[in-house]
Amino acid sequence: VQLQASGGGMVQAGDSLTLSCVASGRAFNTYAAAWFRQAPGKEREFLAATSRSGGAVYYSDSVKGRFTISRENHKNTLYLRINTLMYDDTATYYCAADPGTARAIFEGHYDIEYWGQGTLVTVSS
pLDDT (tens digit per residue) in 60-80: 999 999 999 999 999 999 999
Residue 98: how many other CB atoms lie within 10 Å? 21
pLDDT (tens digit per residue) in 13-40: 999 999 999 999 889 999 999 999 999 9
Contact call for residues 80 and 67 (beta carbons, < 8 A): yes
CA distance 67 to 82: 5
